[in-house]
Amino acid sequence: MPGHLLVSISSIFSETRPQVADVISRLEDQGVAVTLLVAPHIGDWHLAKDDETRAWLETRRDEGHPLVLNGFDQAVQGRRAEFATLDSHEARLRLKGATRQMRKMGFDSPIFAPPRWRLSPGTLEVLPEFGFDVACSSTGLHDIGNRATVPGRNLSIGEGFGASKWWRTAVVKAAERGAAKGHLVRLSASGRNLNDAKTVKDFLTAVRAATEAGAVPSDYCAFSRQLLER
């Protein structure tokens, strides 16, 4: 039975938007839809104040690329991922701010993907309060209502993970190996790293290796609907 391939890009803001757009176009040429991981704040950048990026995201969404909430402020804790260790109280406060701001801008999603895919038990506990159906972690996709998990380790370039040549080579091999076994293959990259031609080349190679090994491209929203219907 063939596995599925889910591809995503994070760290999308004014400075990274051009390189993200280029990679999306290249992936579309391969027949691969990209899920965009979006946060209302990244350091000093605010999506609400960036008309061009908001319009760009609206266009991408209308073209069929899902938008998934990727935290409240990706840079708030420096090297530590924002939702990696939060208890339920702190997670609730951040999620309340993030969902309120995103919905005010017309961006809503039933899926939550924390920065760097690191999801604390406290965060998972409170996600139903904000209407989320699915949570994504480093190890799989979690059906919140049924408390079921589809295993699938995320393979990331950047996003607090490696971006060196040896790491990118390992990601390509892991994507190909997982697809050949019929597993769920998840590939992601940080927009910050997509300004490097070699990184882009290897990311696209990983996607191509997975599809050529039999993985069927999907996106997080489409795949999550299948998960919820089981």
β partners of residue 111: 134
The single-letter DSSP state of residue 43 is T
Q: Give residue 8's pLDDT.
A: 98
DSSP states of 46-102: EGGG-HHHHHHHHHHHHTT--EEE--SBTTTTTTS-TTSS--HHHHHHHHHHHHHHH
Q: Give residue 77's pLDDT.
A: 45
Q: Give residue 230's pLDDT.
A: 67
CA 56 to chain centre: 17
To the question of domain 4-229 being in CATH 2.40.128.120, the answer is: no
The low-confidence residues of the chain, meaning pLDDT below 70, are 1, 74-80, 230
Give the whole-angstrom CA distance, residue 42 versus residue 72: 8
Paired sense of beta strands 140-143 and 134-136, if any: antiparallel
The answer to whether the CB of 217 falls within 8 A of the CB of 32 is yes
Q: Give residue 1's pLDDT.
A: 54
- Give me the residue spans of the domains in the chain: 4-229
Q: Could you read off the pLDDT of 108-155 as tens digits, one per residue?
A: 999 999 999 999 999 999 999 999 999 999 999 999 988 889 999 999
Give the whole-angstrom CA distance, residue 111 versus residue 38: 11
pTM of the model: 0.94
Amino acid letter, residue 116: R
